[in-house]
Chains A and B, each alone.
Chain A
Amino acid sequence: MHLLQKIGLFLFVVALAIFTLSLGLDSYQLSPETLDISKEYQRQEVMDIAQQKGLLDKKYSSNFSFIADFKKVLKEAQASLDQKAQSGLPEGVSEWDFRMGDGDVKSILLQTTKASSTGPVANNPFLFWLLTIGLGILGGLLYILPKFIPLPGIKNNHIYHNSMTRGLKVNVRSVFLGLGIVGIILYGVFYMNNNLLWPLITLALVGLITWLVLYYEKQKTNNPTRSASPDITGWLGVITGIYLIGFYVLLYWSPHYMTAWILISDPISKVLSGNPASQWFLYGMLYTIVMLVMGIRMIAKYRHNNYQIIRTISVIFFQTAFAFLIPEIMVRMNQPYYDFKNIWPLNYSFFFDWNLNNLMNSGGLGLFMLVWGIVLAFIGVPVITYFYGKRWYCSWVCGCGGLAETLGDPYRQLSDKSVRAWKFERWIIHGVLVFAVVMTVMTLYTYFTGSYQVLFFNSDTVRTWYGFIIGAGFAGVVGTGFYPLMGNRTWCRFGCPLAAYLGLVQRFKSRFRITTNGGQCISCGNCSTYCEMGIDVRHYAQRGQDIVRSSCVGCGVCAAVCPRGVLRLENSALDVNTRTSELRAIHIGEGEVTLLQ
């Protein structure tokens, strides 16, 4: 390792340690000023109860005990307000201004915990930004820049020797995945206020899909699956995975424990939008920075490859401008927060009532956003995908794809290439697409009729569950948390409803394909190994068959790593059917031999 890299790694680890420890550095003290509640009756009630319980001005050295006590106060205030409301609301006060909903409780908890922090982080947020994120960027860059020194070319040495990137045995991986699914669903019971219906339906669907793949598709006998590898366990990867999973769990479901990080982001947020940071600002900022730094790594690694360089710059651009800066600037200009490149059904809340109302009430620009979103989803997607394949979005524009291609690049080899995984993929991703469409139709039905009851279900519960299980659990916790465990495109491959939609267009009506170069393939397996979507590219390449697969995101890495120049991503509608047909025997005397069917 280069000396600079050692220093960089050291700085990065220090930054990560400070970042993690910063969560425990501050103390917490509730006072009338820090109680962040705008509705008067609620504020009064919470204040009274806090005082009764002796919380006011009591100093807590840990956020755990502060949050535990303050939660009790909020619960009590909630119950007491409910009770008071029973016996009649005060004159002229609506129920919503009086009673505290669960959403109110969550936001009060987060905002108040943040405001009640005092100590090194709260007092010096920018210094801590420098010590954590700033130092992390510096360390990361020092680690990455020396990668520009060696001669350009494919540098995959030691990926399977490195405990960070070598992945897990299939059975260990299954344990993690099983625990992940069960954990999220259990938490879902709590999240849905002990309503068991949707967690149970989800569990049943998980079981059904497993049964379909193993028995109906007869994959039980296809053992062992390909990516099972003897005695390989990457503990660094496991630790990284757990850290990421922990981050997402906090972010989505308990952001009040990460207020220190939100405080750190405040100064930047104020510069951009004029508002203090939320957990989503923190996330967006980290996301963009990580993509930028790891994007530089991607460019260093593939600097002989223009396709990779341009594509990486493109995803960084779309993330920085469209997902991060423009929405913040919009807010500053009192316009709706809107990410122009986020397309339904990936952007599942596009057709939610609050979003539609918000857009329609925001004048010309809001209406433009509404029309833009609809046109992009229903005309843009099929048309552009016809010309260039789904890669135009997945590998050039999308934020999830962008993170996968930058932060996730070191893990691309961990996708499972077995036929069994492919069968799972098809059931699951199309299942999610159906779920997304059904959920959206129900939401729109409610929007237009005002009735929440759609057939047997409550549309509001359905969409809450979708947001929980797909939007947060699948896309975030499993999607990114599992990078080091199951590869960098777990979400894109198994979960993304937009990928499923793009994939259907790509599979049935698109000019995009990967062509194979005659008989040059030596079946080495580099292409399959480094295909993040788990496509067994070699299967086609060694037969000289062009590849049209719905899941291919056109990252171009298979073509880049092929040591014999066999693969090329291309667009043309000509002869696509004959050239993708199975078994093209092209290099033996053709005389009596006809092509096999």
Chain B
Amino acid sequence: MHIAIIGNGISGVTAARFIRKLSDHQITLISSETDHFFSRTALMYVYMGHMRYEDIKPYEDWFWKKNRIDLKRAYVSKIDTANKKLELQGQGELPYDKLIIASGSTPNKFGWPGQDLKRVQGMYSYQDLEGMEAASEGLKRAVIVGGGLIGIEMAEMFHSRHIPVTFLVREDSYWDGVLPGEESAMINRHIVENGLDLRLKTELKEIIDDGTGTASGVITNKGEKIDCQFVGLTAGVRPNIGFIKESAPSIETQKGILVDDYLETSEKEVYAIGDCAQIRTPLEGRRPIEAVWYTGKMMGESVAYTICGKPTPYVPRLWFNSAKFIDIEYQVYGTVLANPPENHTSLYWEHEDGRKSIRLVYDKHTSEIVGFNLMGVRYRHEVCEKWLEEKASIETVIQNLGLANFDPEFYKEYEADVVALYNKQTGKNLSLKKKRSLTDALRFLREKVSA
């Protein structure tokens, strides 16, 4: 059987690797972007000189041949589901038996005047990185539009080269659609203390053409004109499915490619995974499109089992994510909402340096823990997950909070402060029973297996 995979990102590659582990099927991994899989999340580090492109490839180049995964550098211009073949732009056709679409995302553009000028781009692909590199020489100012995770990465990139950055954020506070107020404010402060020009409640209205088809400035919704020679568009991403909508209308799409619980599209034996997939009936509390690394990985693994004869529904476990805002690390486990429902309340502790915080979200009626939000502090995924799955009570959690601490050795532990804060807020007299310890954490995790 020949399995073709469109896209050599984390989703497509995970699928290919697991199919190879489980079977002897022929696998072709197609991408128009690069010859080999690289970590998209690490593109910024190449620009900043932390790593070379070589270093962000998780597998050595010989890996693919050794594992009999055929690589094909080509653009799929058409999917012919009736005859089960792909049309590769300028490179003929490729028949397949089963098809996995893992074509990822593409940066959003909202019809701004000037959005297609030169030196106006997003930050998604290897080619985008090359574009930024080419534009950096002599760059006097960059304007970045959109306050999400990629926007702040782009800001940090330019900042590393001492290129002044103006950061336009439509919201009242950075990423406040996702981060609760205090954390969002912390990041605002951090952006400013790094010397970036943060403009909240400011939107892009128009990009100015310098007369040669190249950007020379922007005009904001406040009428201000900002001179710049580069405009970064980082107002989110959307599934990269243009080529499917045009060439294979029988594959049902909405925002993304619609898939069932087994990640199969409306066409039999055609699957979609990763950023480009839209789950028809997402699990409770989950969104139909979750464009993150981890879900792509899990979908790749699930679809591999399904294709290799062990039908496996895609059942992501608890939501988790992480990021780094310049120097502040961020981790989240479970449900932490910027605009929480009435029954959620949270215990929020912040360090006096204003760059670390711990937030525990719980149900105020049942006391069940529902989420952890950490800034500048690391928590153990498995421990948090276990508490969340068991719906442990907030008091159980905080008394054992040390079990979750994952900061390096000799780092100060703040769990006792969290307990003290809880006591102060509730008038109780709890104390911290567990400090940071691998042995204790593993014992705790073992209990699950026996219970």
- A residues neighboring B (CB under 8 Å): 151-154, 156-162, 221-230, 232, 305-307, 310, 413, 417-419, 515, 517-520, 522-526, 528-529, 538-539, 542, 556, 559-560, 563-565, 568-572, 574-575, 585-589, 591-593, 596
Contact = CB atoms under 8 A, between A and B. Distances in A.
Given A517-B381, A524-B39, A568-B408, A160 B51 contact: yes
Given A522-B293, A588-B315, A222 B406 contact: no
B422 interface: no
A596 B311 CA distance: 16
A151 B442 contact: no
A519 B381 CA distance: 7
B39 A523 contact: yes
Nearest to A152: B327
Given A518-B320, A518-B380, A592 B312 contact: yes
Contacts of A559: 408
B410 A587 contact: no
Which among A153, A157, A529 has the greatest number of chain B C-beta atoms within 10 A? A157
A560 B49 contact: no
B324 interface: yes
Contact of A588 (B50, B160, B301, B378): B301
B446 interface: yes
Given A222-B60, A523-B58, A589-B312, A517 B293 contact: no
A230 B293 CA distance: 28
Contacts of B323: 564
B123 interface: no
A28 B49 CA distance: 50
Interface stretch (B40-48, B202-210, B241-249): B40-48
B409 A523 contact: no
Nearest to B305: A593
A154 B55 contact: no
A418 to B, nearest CB: 6
Interface string B413-451: 000000000000000000000000111001100100000
A569 B408 contact: yes
B62 A223 contact: yes
Interface in B323-367: 323-324, 326-327, 329, 331
A526 B50 contact: yes
B39 A307 contact: no
Interface of B: 10, 21-22, 39, 41-42, 45, 48-52, 54-58, 60-62, 66, 160, 193-194, 293-294, 297-298, 301-302, 305, 310-317, 320, 322-324, 326-327, 329, 331, 378, 380-382, 385, 406-412, 437-439, 442-443, 446
A585 B22 CA distance: 14
A524 B42 contact: yes
A387 B324 CA distance: 33
Contacts of B22: 596
Contact of B50 (A159, A225, A517): A159
Nearest to B311: A592
Q: Which residue among B380, B408, B443 has the maximum number of chain A CB atoms within 10 Å of its CB? A: B408
Contact of A575 (B42, B297, B408, B446): B446
A529 B50 contact: yes
A232 B21 CA distance: 36
Given A418-B60, A568-B408, A518 B55 contact: no
Given A307-B408, A520-B331, A591-B312, A529 B49 contact: no
Given A226-B54, A525-B51, A519 B320 contact: yes
Contact of B327 (A154, A222, A538): A154
Contact of A560 (B66, B316, B408): B408
Nearest to B297: A519
Contacts of A522: 39, 41-42, 293, 322
A524 B41 contact: yes
Contacts of A224: 61
Contacts of A223: 61-62
A232 B52 contact: yes
Contacts of B322: 520, 522, 564-565
B21 to A, nearest CB: 6
A588 B49 contact: no
A157 to B, nearest CB: 4
B21 A596 contact: yes
A570 B45 CA distance: 27
- Of B10, B301, B320, B406, which is in contact with the most chain A CB atoms at under 10 Å from its CB? B406
Closest 9 pairs between A and B when the two form their complex, measured CB to CB: A518-B381, A589-B315, A153-B327, A565-B378, A524-B42, A306-B410, A572-B438, A158-B49, A570-B438
A563 B60 contact: no
Contacts of A574: 438-439, 442-443
A422 to B, nearest CB: 11
Nearest to B62: A222
Given A517-B378, A588-B314, A568 B42 contact: no
Contacts of A564: 322-324, 329, 331
Contact of B409 (A413, A569, A588): A569
A568 B324 CA distance: 17
B93 to A, nearest CB: 31
A529 B324 CA distance: 18
Given A568-B378, A589-B302, 17 more contacts: A157-B48, A157-B50, A157-B160, A158-B49, A160-B49, A162-B49, A222-B66, A224-B61, A226-B55, A307-B408, A307-B409, A517-B406, A522-B322, A523-B10, A523-B41, A565-B378, A572-B439
Contacts of B409: 306-307, 556, 568-570
B336 to A, nearest CB: 16
A539 B60 CA distance: 11
Contacts of B41: 522-524
28 contacts: A154-B327, A159-B50, A222-B60, A222-B66, A229-B52, A306-B408, A306-B411, A310-B410, A517-B380, A518-B320, A518-B382, A520-B320, A522-B42, A523-B41, A524-B42, A524-B56, A525-B45, A525-B56, A526-B45, A526-B50, A565-B322, A568-B438, A569-B408, A588-B315, A589-B315, A591-B315, A592-B305, A596-B22
A226 B36 CA distance: 13
Contact of B49 (A156, A518, A587): A156
Contacts of B193: 151
- Most interface-central of A153, A225, A417 (chain B CB within 10 A): A153
B66 to A, nearest CB: 8
Nearest to B384: A518
A593 B49 contact: no
B408 A519 contact: no
A411 to B, nearest CB: 14
Contacts of A160: 49-52
B310 A592 contact: yes
A225 B60 contact: yes
Contacts of B297: 519
Contact of B312 (A417, A568, A593): A593
A556 B408 contact: yes
A587 B298 contact: yes
Given A306-B408, A519-B381, A589-B317, A524 B298 contact: no
B17 to A, nearest CB: 10
B310 A525 contact: no
A570 B380 CA distance: 13
Contacts of A572: 437-439, 442
A160 B53 CA distance: 10
Contacts of B312: 588-589, 591-593
Contacts of A592: 305, 310-312
Given A151-B193, A518-B381, A574-B442, A525 B298 contact: no
Given A160-B50, A574-B439, A588-B315, A151 B327 contact: yes
Nearest to A564: B322
A221 B377 CA distance: 43
Contacts of B311: 592
Contacts of B302: 588-589
A570 B437 CA distance: 8
Contacts of B442: 572, 574-575
A529 B57 CA distance: 11
